[in-house]
A and B are shown apart, each in its own frame.
Chain A
Amino acid sequence: MTESVSGISGMIIQKLLANPKVPRDIDGNSKIVEDLAFDSLAVMNFVMEIEDELDVSVPLDKLADIRTINDLAACLHTLKAGNA
């Protein structure tokens, strides 16, 4: 399934594009706050959706270091690997 970092990144982008307010031209390097115009609460709520998809929980302090979609994918990948 979506176990590799790029696979997770692709899944995140798909989920984001389901929201019509998100710009159409996003990729793995898009910055979540700046390029997607998400505020801190929107980021936390979006991450909750991804958590369900991958069956992991992302502690909030980890979110502080995340800028891009690829950062988020890498973080989820590490957490997922740690759980396995």
Chain B
Amino acid sequence: MTDIFAKHAGLRAAYEGLTASSPRNPFEVVIERPLSATVGIIEGRETLLFGTNNYLGLSQSHRAAEAAIDTARTMGVGTTGSRIANGTFGLHRALEEKLARFFGKKHCMVFSTGYQANLGTISALVNKDDVLLLDADSHASIYDGAKLSGAQVIRFRHNDPVDLERRLGRLKDHTGAKLIIAEGIYSMTGNVAPLTEFTAIAKRHGAYILADEAHSFGVLGATGRGVAEMQGCESEIDFIVGTFSKSLGTVGGYCVTDHDGVDLMRLCSRPYMFTASLPPEIIAATMAALEEMEERPELRIKLQENAERLHSGLKAAGLATGEHVSPVVAVTLETVEEAIIFWNALLENGVYVNLSLPPATPDNRPLLRCSVMAAHSSEEIDKAVAVFGAIAKQLGH
């Protein structure tokens, strides 16, 4: 009998090498419980959380929790069915209408996760006769959606309009549809996409454009609609995809658009059709979080201030951070060994960040991915920066 796990031998070797050199397994960190948005218990200690996607702190929103509790009491905890069969409640429609209104778009489809929003949107929009142009650093859900679609996939260099245009130029005789995909904020590096330039290129080459604002929804733009709003190109973006699992603190994903053609997507998008819809209490919590986000623009202002504080603090401590000031601040290190030592020392000193290792990182170097929240106090940020600085010094930076 062929060993079905034999294919994982390389992965096992890499995994064992990594865990052998680390005092704790970086893939098995348990937040025993959160005490607040910014502090959790890890290994029995109070630990500052600087490695979440809880940008506005809304995972701990009382209003969202109350909405979820009330709804669970009155409607139960699940739908037991898919959106096109028995899983659409009035609440699903209400959330879709609310999001469409928020984005000023005609249509909205809600999916059970952000991952599925990408899979379901991309796979329904393009097929084998079409071409997808993906930013090289795209999230796994975009690559997986591309695979599921069967479309031809061409990568362009990360955030590089010239490279995108060159590749579209090579496709001038292509007869199928062309769809460009970029993110708003890149989750590993905090880089912000030049969406306005991409939309101009899309127009010149007769291509559609989809922006995944997973990390920028609620974070950038005057009202939190993301990078497209910030850069003033929302009307030029054909499809905006995003998630509730970051700034809104719940779970679920969406696609908004002005194209009427999406109506039929509900009948051909497999990741939308063949999975259970979001439970009512999640929808209720998401709507409450969205209302809180709209009513408290000061959260976004505080988040931006905090992003600047963390970014400049880490820079001043001599660490290699990215050029974009966004709530994701990545510290790049040279070797995996050093990254493991650094990450363990941070955790031992009460600061939790994400250890990101190649090949999941853009340029083959490891990252300590930090993310900041509106809920962090200045003191918490300064403490994290001080811990970073002290460890960097010990390691001879």
Q: List chain A positions with a Cβ less than 8 A from chain B.
A: 39-42, 44-45, 48, 55-61, 83
Which residues on the A side are within 8 Å of B136 (C-beta)? Answer: 44-45, 48
Excluding A48-B157, A57-B167, 11 further A-B contacts by CB distance (< 8 Å) are A39-B359, A40-B359, A41-B358, A41-B359, A48-B136, A57-B171, A59-B131, A59-B152, A59-B154, A60-B146, A60-B154
Q: Is B336 an interface residue (CB 8 A)?
A: no
Bound Cα distance A38, B154 (Å): 20
Of the candidates A48, A56, A60, A83, which one forms a contact with B153 in the assembled complex, judged by CB atoms under 8 Å apart? A60
Of the candidates B155, B167, B359, which one forms a contact with A42 in the assembled complex, judged by CB atoms under 8 Å apart? B359
Contact check, B170 vs A56: say whether CB atoms are below 8 A apart.
Answer: yes
For the complex of A and B, the 7 pairs showing the least CB-CB separation, nearest first, are: A59-B152, A41-B359, A60-B153, A57-B154, A39-B359, A57-B167, A57-B170
Which residues on the B side are within 8 Å of A60 (C-beta)? Answer: 146, 152-155
Min CB distance A54 to B, Å, is 11
Contact check, B364 vs A42: say whether CB atoms are below 8 A apart.
Answer: yes
Which residues on the B side are within 8 Å of A83 (C-beta)? Answer: 170
Q: List chain B positions with a Cβ less than 8 A from chain A.
A: 131, 136, 146, 152-155, 157, 167, 170-171, 358-359, 364
Which residues on the A side are within 8 Å of B153 (C-beta)? Answer: 59-61
Chain B, Cβ-Cβ closest to A56: B170
Chain B, Cβ-Cβ closest to A45: B136
Bound Cα distance A44, B136 (Å): 9
Which residues on the B side are within 8 Å of A58 (C-beta)? Answer: 154
Which residues on the A side are within 8 Å of B154 (C-beta)? Answer: 57-60
Contact check, B359 vs A55: say whether CB atoms are below 8 A apart.
Answer: no
Min CB distance B7 to A, Å, is 13
Which residues on the A side are within 8 Å of B171 (C-beta)? Answer: 57
Min CB distance B340 to A, Å, is 19
Bound Cα distance A42, B362 (Å): 10
| Most chain A beta-carbon contacts within 10 A, residue among B146, B152, B167 | B152
Contact check, B170 vs A44: say whether CB atoms are below 8 A apart.
Answer: no
Bound Cα distance A56, B166 (Å): 10
Min CB distance A20 to B, Å, is 14
Of the candidates A39, A48, A61, which one forms a contact with B155 in the assembled complex, judged by CB atoms under 8 Å apart? A48
Which residues on the B side are within 8 Å of A61 (C-beta)? Answer: 152-153
Which residues on the A side are within 8 Å of B152 (C-beta)? Answer: 59-61
Which residues on the B side are within 8 Å of A45 (C-beta)? Answer: 136
Bound Cα distance A41, B155 (Å): 11
Min CB distance B25 to A, Å, is 21
Task: Please name 16 pairs of A and B residues whose Cβ atoms are closer than 8 Å in the assembled complex, sorted by A.
Answer: A39-B358, A39-B359, A41-B358, A42-B359, A42-B364, A44-B155, A55-B170, A57-B167, A57-B170, A59-B131, A59-B153, A60-B146, A60-B152, A60-B153, A60-B155, A61-B153
Bound Cα distance A56, B152 (Å): 14
Chain A, Cβ-Cβ closest to B134: A60
Which residues on the A side are within 8 Å of B359 (C-beta)? Answer: 39-42
Which residues on the B side are within 8 Å of A56 (C-beta)? Answer: 170
Bound Cα distance A39, B10 (Å): 11
Which residues on the B side are within 8 Å of A41 (C-beta)? Answer: 358-359, 364
Chain B, Cβ-Cβ closest to A83: B170
Bound Cα distance A56, B359 (Å): 25
Chain B, Cβ-Cβ closest to A41: B359
Bound Cα distance A40, B11 (Å): 13
Min CB distance A77 to B, Å, is 16
Which residues on the B side are within 8 Å of A44 (C-beta)? Answer: 136, 155
Min CB distance B132 to A, Å, is 9
Bound Cα distance A42, B136 (Å): 12
